[in-house]
């Protein structure tokens, strides 16, 4: 995740949004550990699963 964040900064980005399925606890924990703040949660109409979206300020 560190390298990806660095790459985004190099491209001039200040914020990124990452998403994962709610039941994917490991991904959600990794995103939160890297500064992710939950900004939205909704049901994926094709999969029938809940998606979570996190904002990371770079």
Regions in the chain scoring below 70 on pLDDT: none
pLDDT score of 11: 94
pLDDT score of 37: 98
> In the chain, what are the domain boundaries?
2-57
Cβ neighbour number for residue 25 with a 10 Å cutoff: 10
pLDDT score of 29: 98
d(CA 6, CA 52): 23
Q: Is the pTM of this model over 0.75?
A: yes
Element (H, E) at 17: strand 15-21
d(CA 1, CA 36): 12
The structure tokens listed for 58 are 């770079």
The conformational region for residue 48 under phi > 0 = left, psi -120 to 50 = alpha, else beta, is left
């Amino acid at each position: 995740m560190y390298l990806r964040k660095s790459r985004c900064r190099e491209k001039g980005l200040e914020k990124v949004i990452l998403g994962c399925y709610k039941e994917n606890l490991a991904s959600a924990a990794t995103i939160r550990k890297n500064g992710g703040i939950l900004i939205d949660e909704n049901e994926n109409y094709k999969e029938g699963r809940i998606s979570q979206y996190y904002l990371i300020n770079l």
